[in-house]
Chains A and B, each alone.
Chain A
């Protein structure tokens, strides 16, 4: 790919970027340190960003740690994803009021405040594109998601510090953001200061950049930015083995003994689905007032790991942990292709880090693959 002409922002330029977004009426959300992790929350100034912080991640383990430099984006993804803001964990859809004239149904208005996300990683851009496909392109587009999504301004950050559970390189979803953003930053260190090489991805991005103090990148700075991203590709903590073959591999191994083994370890707690940036399932709770004069209908994140999720008359369809884990993993990696034409996994590693018992989706694939004669033959 031809190298594009970068611009350079200094740290003051990033501060100006935050200010400019706020001036334009955006609610600015980005990474910040809270409760022993780097989470996504409202950002008011540069001081809120996790400058000098990083994370150490492994299966079922996340530790906030100090860096030995003052990098602003020197960490991988944390427990939150942008779906928290676009596809809200609790969204009232409609409510009713009963009066003498009958029952009135009142639709929930869509939220008006536009969102700006600062620090969106390449895997997350892919995850947002996947949720767009699921929530906007079906017969019943989600109006609340649509309103927030269409108004959102995305500032991507190319990964230069992949985490111990990252595997986007093997999923073809990173570490470099290739599109779907308004601006993309790559952080480099030069002459003792932090600099940010900027790629413009949209007219809105270009308009915003014009308001910020910036200059053209030197060839050396552009090369340093590219090298930082290339270096990240080689330092992913994990890899999905033979990713292109995984859909077929799982399809022919639905009765593999490994499903039983992973079910022995799995708590069916649902954390993996909650942290996954592509998981989109919801349930609707109806709440009525005591006197039956009003009701509310609220959509909540749900999970294929709960018993209620597949409950039909008489019981749950997927009663065993084995069937629930298999449903989750085969959907992510195999049947998602049939349903939506892409993988349901972007290799962000959250399900591995935030599983309380450290179940690792790449390891599960490797185990099934290891005893699959067709897959072994291909290696031969």
Chain B
């Protein structure tokens, strides 16, 4: 093992357009947090510590999407200072719920929400970090799962690939012994096309999966949408099911568009 005197790797946590929930997952690691702090120097984490050390950083965790011209430039600076850059959460990985603007006119939204929209400087779209800079690993979820976050940090410390599986939510749902809400109650569920991460929380409480972790690789959303229609879900509601936290993620975006007006 590395000698105690070896320099601890330096961690930075960055926020772009987001709700802060994913960074909070790191603080939520209560039991493990002290151990993390022992192994890693928390050099820049404005949400948690007043002391902010300058870069370069060994590991940058990036939360949030790019929605302003200033942020589009800032992410370039973050990347230049970061040896490894990991995006955390649906915003950073897929554009987040705010990517609903991608399918509408941002000026109309701004006019409806702000009394003086002319003071806003914003982009027409919300885009994931990977649309702007190279990303070393994308951790999904709205919010991310703290167990997976710890795994990413542990993998970074051991210089190995994070063991984050890529199967559907259904696999976890069945491992838990849940009764399928689609089959037994006719409740629409995005589990079959959604990436694992949450441990199938919603179906465990008799609700359909909301797709917080975004589409699984090769998601057959068209076949699932057809089944939703057979269950009696209206066309507009099918589009809405796919248009939440991962609205701009490939397969979900395409399926919502196929069910547009």
Residues A268 and B218 in contact in the complex (CB < 8 Å), given A37-B184, A60-B183, A274-B175: yes
Complex Cα spacing A288 to B163, Å: 11
List of B residues within 8 angstroms of A79 by Cβ: 179-180, 183-184
CB of B79 closer than 8 Å to a CB of A? no
**Contact stretch, chosen from B10-18, B44-52, B187-195:** B187-195
List of B residues within 8 angstroms of A268 by Cβ: 168, 218, 220
CB distance from A316 to the nearest CB of B (A): 9
Residue of B nearest to A355 (CB): B183
CB atoms of A354 and B180 under 8 A apart: yes
Residue of B nearest to A270 (CB): B171
Residues facing B in A335-370 (CB within 8 A) are: 353-358
Residues A269 and B223 in contact in the complex (CB < 8 Å), given A288-B158, A301-B175: no
CB of A271 closer than 8 Å to a CB of B? yes
CB atoms of B163 and A274 under 8 A apart: no
CB atoms of B178 and A35 under 8 A apart: yes
CB of A80 closer than 8 Å to a CB of B? yes
CB of B154 closer than 8 Å to a CB of A? yes
CB atoms of B179 and A35 under 8 A apart: yes
CB of A265 closer than 8 Å to a CB of B? yes
Partner of B171, one of A78, A266, A274, A353: A274
CB atoms of B167 and A290 under 8 A apart: no
Partner of B166, one of A290, A306, A321: A306
CB distance from B144 to the nearest CB of A (A): 17
CB distance from A42 to the nearest CB of B (A): 12
CB of A84 closer than 8 Å to a CB of B? yes
Q: Tally of A-B residue pairs with Cβ under 8 A?
A: 129
CB atoms of A270 and B170 under 8 A apart: yes
Residue of A nearest to B186 (CB): A61
Partner of A303, one of B167, B178, B189, B223: B167
CB atoms of B174 and A274 under 8 A apart: yes
CB of A308 closer than 8 Å to a CB of B? yes
Residue count of chain B within 8 Å CB distance of chain A:
43
List of A residues within 8 angstroms of B180 by Cβ: 62, 79, 271, 354, 356
CB of A300 closer than 8 Å to a CB of B? yes
Residues facing A in B161-214 (CB within 8 A) are: 163, 165-168, 170-171, 174-180, 182-186, 189, 191-193, 206
List of A residues within 8 angstroms of B170 by Cβ: 269-271, 274, 356
Complex Cα spacing A355 to B166, Å: 20
CB distance from B37 to the nearest CB of A (A): 10
CB atoms of A63 and B184 under 8 A apart: yes
CB atoms of A271 and B1 under 8 A apart: no
CB atoms of B183 and A357 under 8 A apart: no
* B-contact 0/1 string along A29-70, CB 8 Å cutoff: 000001111010000000000000000000011111000000
CB atoms of A286 and B167 under 8 A apart: no
List of A residues within 8 angstroms of B185 by Cβ: 36
CB atoms of B158 and A292 under 8 A apart: yes
CB atoms of A61 and B36 under 8 A apart: no
Residues facing B in A244-264 (CB within 8 A) are: 264
CB atoms of B189 and A356 under 8 A apart: yes
CB atoms of B191 and A269 under 8 A apart: yes
CB atoms of B39 and A275 under 8 A apart: no
List of A residues within 8 angstroms of B157 by Cβ: 290, 292
Partner of A290, one of B35, B174, B183, B189: B35
List of B residues within 8 angstroms of A60 by Cβ: 182-183, 227
CB of B224 closer than 8 Å to a CB of A? yes
CB distance from B14 to the nearest CB of A (A): 22
CB of A291 closer than 8 Å to a CB of B? yes
Residues A306 and B175 in contact in the complex (CB < 8 Å), given A36-B185, A267-B193, A267-B220: no
CB of B28 closer than 8 Å to a CB of A? no
CB distance from B111 to the nearest CB of A (A): 41
CB of A105 closer than 8 Å to a CB of B? no
Residues A301 and B174 in contact in the complex (CB < 8 Å), given A264-B223, A271-B192, A307-B166: yes
* 28 A-B contact pairs sorted by A residue (CB < 8 Å): A35-B178, A35-B206, A39-B179, A61-B186, A62-B184, A79-B180, A89-B174, A90-B175, A265-B223, A267-B220, A268-B168, A268-B218, A268-B220, A269-B191, A269-B192, A274-B171, A285-B163, A285-B165, A288-B154, A290-B35, A290-B39, A291-B39, A292-B1, A301-B171, A301-B175, A306-B165, A321-B218, A357-B226
A39-B179, A79-B180 known, 15 other contacts, Cβ within 8 Å:
A37-B179, A61-B183, A63-B184, A266-B223, A267-B168, A267-B192, A269-B170, A287-B151, A290-B32, A290-B36, A291-B38, A303-B171, A306-B167, A308-B167, A356-B192
